[in-house]
Structure 1
Amino acid sequence: MCIVIYSWYFILGGSFIWESDGFTQHFQLFHEYVNILQGALRGEGFPEWDWSIGAGADTITSYGYYVIGDPFVYLGVFFPESLREFSFHLIMFVRMWCVGLSYLIFVRKFKVSHGAALLGALMYTFSFFVIYNTGRHPFFILPLIWYPLLCLGVEKILSRESGLLFSIMVGVSAIVNFYFFYKLTILVFIYGIVRYGTLYRFKDWKQLGYSFGRCSLHYLVGVLLGAIIFLPMVDGFLNSSRNTDEIAINLFLYHGGYYLSLIHNLFVPEIYLWTAGGLSIFTIFTVVFLFKTRKNKTFSGLMLLILGIFLLFPFFGSFMNGMSGPYNRFSFAIPLFIALASGKLLEERDKLQVKDLRIVKYILIGFTIFYGTAAIMENMYLYYAFPIISGWLIWFILMYEKKKKLKNKSANKISVILIGLVMLNLVTNATNLYYPYGNNSISKMVELNTSADRYENLFGGVQNLLPEDDLYRTGVTSQDNHVRNQFIYHDLMGLSSYLSITNGSLSEFAEEMEFSSYQIIQPLRNGVDDRRIANHFFNIEYILTEEKNASYLPYGYEVVHRSNDDPAYIIAKTESEFPFAYVEDRFITRENFSKLNPVEKETFLTQGVVLENNQDVEGREIEKATNEQIKEVEYQIEDTDPGLLAQDKNLIEVTENGARLNINLENEDELAGQEIFIYLQGLEYETADTPFYIAEDTSYDIGFLYEDREKTLRQSDKYSFSTYFHRENMFVNLGHTDLGTDEMSIQFEDTGRYNINDITIYALPADKEIDQQIAEEKQENELDIEVFEDERIEGTVQRKEPGLLVTTIPYEKGWNVTVNGEERDIVQANIGFVGVPLDSGDSEIVFSYQNPYLKSGGILSLIGIFLLGLIQFIRKRNNTF
């Protein structure tokens, strides 16, 4: 099956590395984690903190969501770096093989025939959820391996056999990925209730209590087994930047288009809100068979009914997704019960009557008309034809068998033919997804064997010219959206990161500062909107970018190198970056800081430190921080674009995509030498009336144009649950103007009604000498760093007065600090960073990091191993548990 599906795929140069998350997350982290493992095997240790992940991050929580718990990743250590991509693809096929293996182990409990097991294994292994995630999210395949084994563990407990398998699989699931462990827990609980009901009919409550007690005990032991990774990951998630706001959609019903997509996607390879379709057309026959045998209350049918109901209402999708947006990723479990029931049908298809096949015929006619219409409308004939042709072939064969009353050897031959047709159906569904005549997902993949070169050539090699011994961070511009996790590959300290688990305190800082580039799992990215002071604050000494982006460099960054490549890359440098750590004695409370506008907040970072309201630190408190140099620029809105029906700064109706609101700045001569900012407050957007069967698209883009610079901010759609948050305000840095240009434009890329409470334009003077003076003042009070390692920083500082050591170390509970050998509590400085109160005099400071829950998780895992051994000992001795 894999050879048939993927041979031509690789000949065409396709890979399993998706241009988006695959390139920037999955293969990137696999590549680097295997490097870490190989380094650990060479005796280099395992770093618990990594400075190349964004502003610095915990290694376990950063990598844990993707690779640390995945047992298949560890096969990568047997391959050299030159074969890293080969091993990535090979491991993918091993995962797929284990999906089928897991199913076969599970169905042995039900004593099915070889043919039935084979059919089910094929339908489960090559289900669309697997085929889709082979090139999207590799670790999403893992729950399909664990779920059948977890269900088998429940079967053993219900049959009064050992609970060893169940405990081990709970532990494995907890270690591998906490996100899917949550779903698996609910799915296994539902399986246990349904299975108990079909076996014992809830007649013996004592038996129910005994079975539930045993399952609960072994589940608890399993959680303890996995605690060494599970505990740090849960803590990382609870303190991450993931959005916890109220879900923006109605949780009672989806829009009409969702229900239409359920029908459309059943037998063609599509996915919507993670409800995976692309089932084999044989499923129609299976469902009719389940309906035929409903009096027997088969647990496969009951499970499909329950999961089917879950797909109909957003509340259940949200519940299965941890009460966040209703992404129906639990749909990976549906093929398990379809496969099991399909195998049963293959064995007992003699129970189907001619009238049952006539029902199937009418269903097939309905889908033939439906898919035929879709094929004409979308001009994708093969895409829709393959499943329908397979369905009719299966129907004719079953009808022929029924009328001829074939038995024994002839029936066996029919079974082989049916399995062959299902295989053909699954193959065509997969190729319909991958190849150009279908969804052409291969076009969205990185070309085979090019990923490592793309990482290496991210900046055309100019990164190799950066000094190696100095302590600094490297930045990018707002135009470098493609730079996400690639600094990990180059072992550079930067800010850009793109991970599911990101420091929540950093996210709070980014939100407070209203960085226009902010996203939920990318709080600091894209050069923090090219804001000059923000780059200085983060110790950004060098900026790497393409030469065409030079106009977006923050003021004061001068080009010191230009490559001769095409495209050309540049290195820009400043002398005004702040030290990595320095002492401040002026502070403002978080409450008062929040009252400032974004320009005032940024300028305050040059003057003092922000402290949480309840932190007691010696120093001079500033009740109200203002900067008299910040000016609000007077302006006039010009009514010129015919695409704008109503034009004032509060209500703008856009009738043509790309319509511009032109703004004329007054007193342009006074703008020379200033940084210009625009601030849109109280944004609300309404689309045109949308039919009930189409999801209302609440996403929109707004562009801001000034001189030769253009920046675009996006409000994501409310159905994009992983990235959605409501942008009530948009604050954009439009850069430094030398001459004082008076023309500015706001471009609305999407039609609709835009309500804007206020538009404010700020001007902030920029002076290189003053910036350098500020940096020098901070350097006079900087921490003289003597040791800078992943998990340890040592340095000294001398002060005549008490103060607070301010750092850009992301605030994490795992950081411990000693001052002159004595432990010192850290405080939360500037919202997202580690601060250390210091007394006057000389201070020798040592920072050390260890994940705060790794040791306690390890102890709990040892307790779990002990309890598991004790339970097995008692069982063998007394035949209990």
Structure 2
Amino acid sequence: MEFSFKKRSVWRLYLAYTLLFLVLAACIFGIYVLNGHTLILDRDPLNQHLPLMAKWREAVVNFLQHPRQGFHLWSWQFGLGADTFQVYSYYTMGDVFAYLALLFPAAKITLAYQVILVVRMYCVGLAFVYFASHFKFRDYVILAGAATYLVNSFLLYACVAQPFFTTPFILFPLIVVQIERVLQGGSAWPLLGVFTWMLISNYYLAFVLGIGAMFYLVLRVATHYRKTLNYGKTFLKLAFAAVTSILLSSVMLVPELIAVMNSTRAGSEFANGLKTYPLYYYLFLPKQLINGSDWYFIFWSALGIVSIGFIALVYIYSRPKKYPLLTISLGMSLIMLLIPAIGAVFNGMMSASNRWTLLIYLPLAMAVCILIQDAPTLDHHTLWILNWATVVYLLILIVTYFFQNDTAMFMPVIFLILSLLALWMINLHHLANPDRWLLLLVVVNAGFNAIYAASPYNGGFAKEMLNRGEYQVITANRYGNLDAGLDRTAPYRVNTISNNRIIADHKFDNDLTTGLHNIDSYYSLQNHFLGQFNDSLQNIQYTANIPIRQADDRSVLNNFYGVKYIFAQSDGKNATKVPAGYLQDKLTDPIINFDKGQPSDAKSIKDLTPIQTIRYKTEQNFPLLYWQDSYISQARYNKLSPTAKERALASGVVVNNSSKATKGLKAADLKGNVLPVKSQLISNRFNKIDPSHLKYTDGDETYQLQFPDLQTKKGRARYKKTELHIDFSKIKYTPFSMKEQLKYEQQHVAEMATNPGTVINERFNRYKYWRYHVISGSPDISFKLFFGSRFGTAEISQSKQSVLSLFKRVKNGTVNIGYYRGSLPQKLSFEPSKLGNYELKYQVVAENLGAKYDREVATIRRHGIQDLQFGQNELSGRITTQRTGILTSSIPYSSGWTATVDGKPAKVLRTNQAFLGLRLSAGTHRIRFTYHLPGLHEGALVSLVGLLWTLVCAAVSVILYRRKRA
């Protein structure tokens, strides 16, 4: 097929596409509406996309009304506080569609968000129509290609779960057209415009699209222009477009790259450690091609196009010399899908995420167009090739069906057979208007895929869409309405109990709607110092995207972060696992659930347990900034256990990379901060277990972690007012091989057959267990360690390598069992989740939160900064110190912070690994911290140079064009 830039009448084509989109949009989005849902998924859209769009709209409106004030570059509502640019630039700032929200009033932001979702999808198909109109395709053929391109598993998921992932589907066809324009000797200016849009929209997606553009350029030149291209002139045009677009975008790119390099994403394990994908991935990959309703196939390899797409692929590969670009690119894509390292490279050298597959839908849709264009002229030989290929493919699907009976494949298979029959009918009976019949088949197939994906009863994401009006209700009741009346200007923070959901069925991390400062935050870019801090304290809730979460309900961490209020649901998980010093402050009206969670011996309503939302309050939260005159050297700090590091936050301050700053300060008193607790692991088989060589072969075997010292009254008295931690310095899990796994499971079945006359079907059991493990992806590295106490179950877990953004290799961790005002328990239950070999090295410790801790906290609170005031991108206050010391804080450190003391510049220190600090001499001082966006000044200068360069080039182009016309 040849690109052509000759003008053709397209207004009827675009009108027809608009009508087609209305039909498909009714299928994609209409089911949600009919079932009373919105287009707001309760995951990232609830936590990030919608509230961030609302906040960004508010920021833009404020800027337009008060341009001299500029933008807030630092926000206290993003967790502990964060650079707003690194958040907004990833999600909204460069997204042209986000600015459509300005057309709606603030009260209609949820409507704006949903309308924008639909507009994005319309533009996806529009971009394909624009692209395909450069070929000699008939209009109905282009419309069939647009339906194929628009309705696929990737987009059916992304359009509601990750809306900005629809933008590359718009950009990639435009990039290809403009590269082709340059290759044919045309202007590079349109390519410059598309590249600039690409770079500004999102740096991650620009990275993927950039690689895709290079692949297209190389393959297109190699397969078509190799002998005819004017290489010198073409290179200059491409270089002009690429370099100029980078210059123009630098005001965004430079700060973004600095943010990425200083984020928790840096240093992630390549491909999550995978060399190959699990067996089930390869087993089920073939059916993914036409499984259009499966929008979350593992590792983002969703595919899921209309069924005729398989036949189109076979047709293309039956003519490889005629379509070399398509056959090579799609063949390479198949190979790339088989190798985790490829996905990791496209994903910025991180997890093996095949989001790059967004690039292959364009050639797949083109293949469908070519087949439908040629359908009237297919010969019998070609049809028999398509016939036999389809038969083989159906046999493969049947095999996978017997392995996993996926009923979602029923209709795709029907449409596959109908597509083949339609091609035969067109050939044998010379049907009139074959394009229309095939278009109808494609549209019905696409519509069915979309409807099935949106159906709330098929096990997909549809049931996780918010109900109509629910966003407003749940954001207003984020804390059960117990936040009403709380001061939004005071420098304190709030938290919730781990895994304790106040709003049922929805998991919150970010809080961008109440005006309170929740320590939890969930963004793609997080401060890497904050990540290192939580990692060194072995916060088991830490991940790259969510560095704190609820800090595992650890008392000292909550105090250190300045958490004054904690909210909990009384019937939720861990409801009684309240950190030390947090007392009931306010409760909602009680509600009785007569059918669940009630004592069996209740005689009246008074004996029943009510359900309430509870607000806990403490007077031990640390000030946002405070002065300490006791220090802990870096060498001493490094030798401390994770719990001892946490407890030391109240005893002294660590100043990182500056030993001079602590000169003249006294060493912190760390004695008695942490008390060791002797422990032993006992099996319910009454065996004493060596945890460093734990071979777990029976899933029904359980263990007790016993504490001999707590058997006596004297021993129990020693550990009063302590928080019980298990510090794991080593966690290593080695799964059994498949053969070993099956052997032990068979052995367990035999041991459980205690009734006389029992006959065990070993062959069936072997197949059952083997099938289960293959589908589950085992043997794999994932596991969980469960510890049971009166507070509930605490756990430390290793996720599967198929978990992408939130994957973390667990080699250690500290489990908080809970705070015991009275005696510690004499034992805990312990149970691993999976069979295998465990190497566990741990120390059970009691974190002392008694009188010494109370005195230290009282001192810290007395030494808090006074007259604290928050300005735009700055904060200031006054403090009086009796002697030289360190002003420290729980404000995340960044190179963007500068400080003055009494109006004079002062060196900003990094304290306690991750937080702002200053060295202060004795006396009364006025402190001011100011935040500047790192890289903004440099990026703006580069963009200014790029703008001047662009204007000069534009002027030269106009002069040359006029001379040529003259």
TM-score by length of 2: 0.85
Q: Give the deviation of 1:453 after TM superposition.
A: 1.1
Query: Does structure 1 conserve the Cα–Cα contact (< 8 Å) formed by 2:696 and 2:838?
Result: no
The answer to whether 1:850 aligns with 2:932 is yes
The answer to whether 1:491 aligns with 2:539 is no
- Structure 1 residues 294 and 443, CA, compared in 2 at 3 Å: closer, same or farther? same
Q: Tell me the equivalent position of 1:117.
A: 142
Aligned amino acid, residue 660 of structure 1: T
Q: Tell me the equivalent position of 2:332.
A: 306
Q: Tell me the equivalent position of 2:248.
A: 225
Query: Does structure 2 conserve the Cα–Cα contact (< 8 Å) formed by 1:505 and 1:811?
Result: yes
Aligned amino acid, residue 415 of structure 1: D
Moved more, 195-204 or 697-706: 195-204
Q: Distance in 1 between matches of 2:406 and 2:154?
A: 22
Q: Distance in 2 between matches of 1:547 and 1:152?
A: 59
Q: Tell me the equivalent position of 1:440.
A: 460
Q: Tell me the equivalent position of 1:585.
A: 629
Q: Distance in 1 between matches of 2:268 and 2:44?
A: 24
Q: Give the deviation of 1:758 after TM superposition.
A: 2.2
- Structure 1 residues 725 and 468, CA, compared in 2 at 3 Å: closer, same or farther? closer
Q: Which of 62, 74, 77 does residue 102 from structure 2 map onto? A: 77
Q: Distance in 2 between matches of 1:386 and 1:793?
A: 61
Q: Tell me the equivalent position of 1:3.
A: 26
Aligned amino acid, residue 581 of structure 1: L
Q: Tell me the equivalent position of 2:389.
A: 363
Moved more, 490-499 or 758-767: 758-767
Q: Distance in 2 between matches of 1:634 and 1:380?
A: 52
Q: Distance in 2 between matches of 1:656 and 1:564?
A: 46
Q: Distance in 1 between matches of 2:618 and 2:101?
A: 41
The answer to whether 1:713 aligns with 2:796 is yes
Q: Tell me the equivalent position of 1:783.
A: 865
Q: Which of 260, 264, 269 does residue 283 from structure 2 map onto? A: 260
Query: Does structure 1 conserve the Cα–Cα contact (< 8 Å) formed by 2:330 and 2:360?
Result: yes
Q: Distance in 1 between matches of 2:659 and 2:60?
A: 40
Q: Give the deviation of 1:312 after TM superposition.
A: 2.2
- The 5 A counterparts of 1:225-244 are 225-242=248-265, 244=267
Q: Tell me the equivalent position of 1:140.
A: 165
Query: Does structure 1 conserve the Cα–Cα contact (< 8 Å) formed by 2:92 and 2:98?
Result: yes
Moved more, 537-546 or 24-33: 24-33
Aligned amino acid, residue 421 of structure 1: L
Query: Does structure 2 conserve the Cα–Cα contact (< 8 Å) formed by 1:679 and 1:760?
Result: yes
Moved more, 475-484 or 157-166: 475-484
Matched residue SS, 2:286: helix
Q: Give the deviation of 1:419 after TM superposition.
A: 0.7
Aligned amino acid, residue 291 of structure 1: Y
- Structure 1 residues 315 and 812, CA, compared in 2 at 3 Å: closer, same or farther? same
Q: Distance in 1 between matches of 2:270 and 2:326?
A: 32
Query: Does structure 2 conserve the Cα–Cα contact (< 8 Å) formed by 1:702 and 1:746?
Result: no
Q: Give the deviation of 1:864 after TM superposition.
A: 2.3
Q: Give the deviation of 1:240 after TM superposition.
A: 0.7
Q: Distance in 1 between matches of 2:190 and 2:253?
A: 19
Q: Give the deviation of 1:848 after TM superposition.
A: 1.3
Q: Which of 686, 693, 702 does residue 660 from structure 1 map onto? A: 702
Q: Tell me the equivalent position of 1:477.
A: 497
Moved more, 645-654 or 189-198: 645-654
- Structure 1 residues 708 and 778, CA, compared in 2 at 3 Å: closer, same or farther? closer
The answer to whether 1:648 aligns with 2:674 is no
The answer to whether 1:676 aligns with 2:729 is no
Matched residue SS, 1:446: strand
Q: Which of 562, 574, 588 does residue 587 from structure 2 map onto? A: 562
Q: Distance in 1 between matches of 2:665 and 2:882?
A: 18
Q: Give the deviation of 1:474 after TM superposition.
A: 1.4
Q: Give the deviation of 1:180 after TM superposition.
A: 0.8
Aligned amino acid, residue 953 of structure 2: I
Q: Which of 842, 845, 861 does residue 759 from structure 1 map onto? A: 842
Q: Tell me the equivalent position of 1:744.
A: 827
Q: Distance in 1 between matches of 2:310 and 2:206?
A: 31
Matched residue SS, 1:493: coil
Q: Which of 9, 13, 16 does residue 39 from structure 2 map onto? A: 16
Q: Tell me the equivalent position of 1:631.
A: 675
- Structure 1 residues 27 and 565, CA, compared in 2 at 3 Å: closer, same or farther? farther
Q: Give the deviation of 1:12 after TM superposition.
A: 1.0
Q: Tell me the equivalent position of 1:354.
A: 380
Q: Distance in 1 between matches of 2:195 and 2:449?
A: 33
Q: Which of 328, 343, 357 does residue 369 from structure 2 map onto? A: 343
Q: Tell me the equivalent position of 1:463.
A: 483
Q: Give the deviation of 1:707 after TM superposition.
A: 2.8
Q: Tell me the equivalent position of 1:837.
A: 919
Matched residue SS, 2:466: coil
Q: Distance in 2 between matches of 1:738 and 1:838?
A: 37
Q: Give the deviation of 1:790 after TM superposition.
A: 4.8
Q: Give the deviation of 1:436 after TM superposition.
A: 4.9
Q: Tell me the equivalent position of 1:25.
A: 48
Q: Distance in 1 between matches of 2:205 and 2:111?
A: 27
Q: Tell me the equivalent position of 2:126.
A: 101
Q: Distance in 2 between matches of 1:42 and 1:871?
A: 34
Q: Distance in 2 between matches of 1:472 and 1:319?
A: 41
Moved more, 808-817 or 246-255: 246-255
Q: Give the deviation of 1:837 after TM superposition.
A: 2.2
The answer to whether 1:538 aligns with 2:580 is no
Segments of 5+ residues of structure 2 without an aligned counterpart are 1-23, 592-610, 711-715, 739-769
Q: Tell me the equivalent position of 2:417.
A: 392
Query: Does structure 1 conserve the Cα–Cα contact (< 8 Å) formed by 2:789 and 2:829?
Result: no
- The 5 A counterparts of 1:365-444 are 365-372=391-398, 381=407, 383-404=408-429, 406=430, 410-411=431-432, 413-436=433-456, 438-444=458-464
Matched residue SS, 1:778: helix
- The aligned length equals 869
- Structure 1 residues 469 and 15, CA, compared in 2 at 3 Å: closer, same or farther? closer
What CA deviation, in whole Å up to 9, does each residue of 1:535-570 have, x standing for no partner? Answer: 221122222222355521211111121221544122
Moved more, 696-705 or 542-551: 542-551
Q: Distance in 1 between matches of 2:949 and 2:126?
A: 29
Aligned amino acid, residue 426 of structure 1: A
The answer to whether 1:453 aligns with 2:473 is yes
Q: Tell me the equivalent position of 1:734.
A: 817
Query: Does structure 2 conserve the Cα–Cα contact (< 8 Å) formed by 1:85 and 1:449?
Result: no
Q: Distance in 1 between matches of 2:694 and 2:721?
A: 32
Aligned amino acid, residue 269 of structure 2: E
Q: Tell me the equivalent position of 2:653.
A: 609
What CA deviation, in whole Å up to 9, does each residue of 1:335-359 have, x standing for no partner? Answer: 1011123222322335532122112
Q: Give the deviation of 1:742 after TM superposition.
A: 3.6
Q: Give the deviation of 1:99 after TM superposition.
A: 0.5
Aligned amino acid, residue 238 of structure 2: C
Q: Give the deviation of 1:502 after TM superposition.
A: 0.8
Q: Give the deviation of 1:746 after TM superposition.
A: 4.2
Q: Give the deviation of 1:511 after TM superposition.
A: 0.7
What CA deviation, in whole Å up to 9, does each residue of 1:488-533 have, x standing for no partner? Answer: 211112210011111111011111111222222111111x122222
- Structure 1 residues 480 and 260, CA, compared in 2 at 3 Å: closer, same or farther? same
Q: Give the deviation of 1:175 after TM superposition.
A: 1.3
Q: Distance in 2 between matches of 1:504 and 1:781?
A: 28
Moved more, 601-610 or 51-60: 601-610
Q: Tell me the equivalent position of 1:128.
A: 153
Q: Distance in 2 between matches of 1:629 and 1:427?
A: 64
Query: Does structure 2 conserve the Cα–Cα contact (< 8 Å) formed by 1:786 and 1:795?
Result: yes
Q: Tell me the equivalent position of 1:183.
A: 208
Query: Does structure 2 conserve the Cα–Cα contact (< 8 Å) formed by 1:679 and 1:761?
Result: yes
